[in-house]
Structure 1
Amino acid sequence: MSDAPPLVLVVEDERDLADLYATWLSSEYRVRTAYGGYEALDALDDEVDVVLLDRRMPGLSGDEVLEAVRDRGIDCRVAMVTAVEPDFDIVAMGFDDYLVKPVTKEALRETVSTLCTRNDYDEGVQELFSLASKKALLEAEKGGSELEESDEYAELTARIEALQSDLDETVGGVDDHDSFVGFYRDLDRETSEKE
């Protein structure tokens, strides 16, 4: 295993913004920058730990790049960093976090740090974090009646409850109290940050 810092791929068609994000992250992480979707696919490999991905780009959209990341089976976390307001379509998307522009340096760095930490968790925990992030985002952006009427939101909530139940059974066998407490502290922090 390498001692090198995690590698972040910044995918943003606005060059100045991409370079700004890279500058913000370069003191703690290795950074690659791609100024469009096709360039992102060329820069994407198994070394990448986190992808910061704009949704709306000419040529190949961020949604299409995200699909390609997942189709290739690359084990990395993906945060959409975009001006596109979230809608219920996000439930089916394979990202781990969603930031709406404009994004502050602190928010970007915190997101990357959190996603790097998530890389250490198993697949079930990673999925739970991703789904909890989507749920919190929808709850922040949509009204109560919209949420109640949405089949996607109901399915998302049911999936979270099922995963939590499965993980509760798994965690029940954990002997390391610090790991147990740390897991739930991370999950609570992730959920409360989105609210």
Structure 2
Amino acid sequence: MSEQPPLVLVVEDEPDLADLYAAWLGDEYRVRTAYGGQEALEQLDEADDDVDAILLDRRMPGLSGDEVLSAVRERGIDCRVAMVTAVEPDFDILKMGFDDYLVKPVTSDTLKETVSGLLRRGEYDTEMQELFSLTSKKAMLETEKSATELADNDEYQRLTDRIEELRSRADESLEAVTEDDDDFKKLFQEFDDGE
């Protein structure tokens, strides 16, 4: 019997959009949809399978995506989370526990690449997952904020320092790995491609 494909939970309060995302991903993954925050938490509580990735809208009536994300992290649910939202990122994202952030509208290719990246990141250790998450936040802020706003924000400066610290550790780890290790090459190529 073959191993089942990864399970992706799409949380979106617009049913047509949630169903569209599910259709885009359905050929490669098992997909469940939740049409609101409360329904998402109920599905996570009742799930007999572990959810591997969550695509989460931020602005939903009732329980917001931010609240769902907090609940997921507080409950220790081990999965990668991408916010897929019309909410432009602000400095508040620095304190949020997501792994990636997409601003709507998104294309099928972007959504598929994001899920693939989330699942790949789930295989890495905690420090590497943190590095990916922080790098994503930094990139989003740099597209939305001016150089002056970034320079004046202490949290952004701490974020930059932490990324440098994690990259330095990653570089040391990379030196210890042989040149033939394709997984590590892919990992570090993602950083080079993203910048």
Normalization by structure 1: what TM-score?
0.93
Matches within 5 A, 1:1-195: 3-44=3-44, 45=47, 47-179=50-182, 180-189=184-193, 191-192=194-195
Rounded Cα–Cα distance in structure 2 between residues aligned with 1:74 and 1:176: 34
Q: Which amino acid aligns with 1:185?
A: Q
Uncovered stretches (5+) of structure 1, i.e. residues with no partner: none
Q: Which runs of 4+ in 1 moved over 6 A?
A: none
Rounded Cα–Cα distance in structure 2 between residues aligned with 1:182 and 1:31: 26
Uncovered stretches (5+) of structure 2, i.e. residues with no partner: none
Q: Which amino acid aligns with 1:147?
A: L
Q: CA deviation at 1:178?
A: 2.8
Q: SS of 1:172's equivalent?
A: helix
Rounded Cα–Cα distance in structure 1 between residues aligned with 2:110 and 2:18: 15
Q: How many residues align?
A: 191
Q: CA deviation at 1:176?
A: 5.0
- 1:50-84 alpha-carbon deviations (Å, 9 max, x no partner): 10000011110000000011111111110000010
Task: State the identity as a percent.
Answer: 67
Q: Which amino acid aligns with 2:133?
A: S
Q: SS of 1:73's equivalent?
A: coil
Q: How big is the alpha-carbon RMSD for the aligned residues of Structure 1 and Structure 2?
A: 1.5
- 1:138-193 alpha-carbon deviations (Å, 9 max, x no partner): 1111111111111111011011011112222223222353344222112222x23x
Q: SS of 1:182's equivalent?
A: helix
